[in-house]
Structure 1
Amino acid sequence: MTQERTGIATFKGNPITLIGPELKVGDSAPSFTLSKNLLEQASLSDFAGKIKLISVVPSLDTGVCDAQTRRFNEAASELGEEVVVLTISADLPFAQARWCGAAGVDRVVTLSDYRDNSFGTAYGVLIKEFVIDMRAIFVVDQNDIIQYVEYLPEMSHHPDYDQAIDAVKKLIG
């Protein structure tokens, strides 16, 4: 049975239910398989040996998600080759590609959880009521251990960009 977590997050003040566990610093990052496009998949192991900043957004077509992805795209250019920035949403892969093209976002890897919401369930961010992923940030080290986590208590709020980027910088050799 999949764990349901209530009373910890809202959307515009209304309570929502998150599916999956609450991950913590020190936990092993759960494996995932997400869609890069309609034919190609990506998994955690594809980024082995890299520091991973995982930015989870409900949909790129909303203001906060747009700003979040643009901010981490800018940061990606300063973080170097040993860091990969992943933006994960339940948007369809071709919608993600269209948005990135229109926004000029070219340094983050967008991955889609649209097929089976397995990422959302494994990382505890799947919103039961909307079947999309809740805004969250995970920093995962080269050994796939979570070093930073931020679950947003309100879906429409911005994450702490500076803390997430600082967590990545602490891991850079």
Structure 2
Amino acid sequence: MAEVTLGGNPSNTVADLPAEGQTAPNFKLVKTDMSEVSLSDFKGKSVILNIFPSVDTEVCAMSVREFNEKAASLDNTVVLCISKDLPFAQARFCGAEGIENAIPVSNFRNDSFGKEYGVELADGGFKGLNARAVVVVNPEGKVVYNQLVPEIGNEPDYEKAFKALKDTQ
């Protein structure tokens, strides 16, 4: 369990992020066409997990835009933008914003994702939603970087995530 804040108010996650060097837990999430996708579908590629509460908030939307822009120049890398938003809301946002390089996916059907990745909020105003976090997984399926953003209203450290990614390629 870790503590984060939302507007300065403390909130706890249900567990900790997967540790660097650990095999990333597999998952099944829902794409905007309602099909399922798993981490194992991207075996042999680097995967950036951009995890956040809702695409309908300003900072979450910024992180999707930022990862989408940076993903355009990455080889052998997939960016998954993960929230509990319904796939319809994700599709609407990504269509309006021209998001083409990042894949929006939802864990609305799969509560185990938030528990296994330690991002589900256990209390506070966003209880049940994902905390803001980034996890970078190398082509061998190992976690090479993780960040649980201490204040949910702040953006993640993009530079450190992309440095960890480049160090593995």
What TM-score bracket applies, with the shorter chain setting the length?
over 0.9
The answer as to whether partners of 1:139 and 1:167 remain within 8 angstroms in 2 is yes
Alignment of 1:118 with 2:112, yes or no, is yes
Please, what TM-score do these two structures have when normalized by structure 2?
0.94
Query: Following the alignment from structure 1 to structure 2, what is the Cα–Cα distance between the partners of residues 150 and 21?
Result: 10
* SS across alignment from 2:71: helix
Q: Identity rate of aligned residues, in percent?
A: 40
Alignment of 1:68 with 2:59, yes or no, is no
The answer as to whether partners of 1:79 and 1:169 remain within 8 angstroms in 2 is no
* SS across alignment from 2:13: strand
Q: CA RMSD in A?
A: 1.2
Opposite residue 137 of structure 2, the aligned amino acid is V
Moved over 3 A (4+): none
Counterpart of 2:41? 46
> For 1:25, which of 14, 20, 23 is the aligned residue?
20
Normalized per residue, the structure richer in strand is 1
> For 1:166, which of 149, 163, 168 is the aligned residue?
163
Q: Any stretches of 5+ residues in structure 2 without a counterpart? A: none
> For 1:143, which of 110, 129, 140 is the aligned residue?
140
Please, what TM-score do these two structures have when normalized by structure 1?
0.91
* SS across alignment from 2:72: helix
* SS across alignment from 1:79: coil
Alignment of 1:154 with 2:162, yes or no, is no
Counterpart of 2:73? 78
The answer as to whether partners of 2:34 and 2:87 remain within 8 angstroms in 1 is no
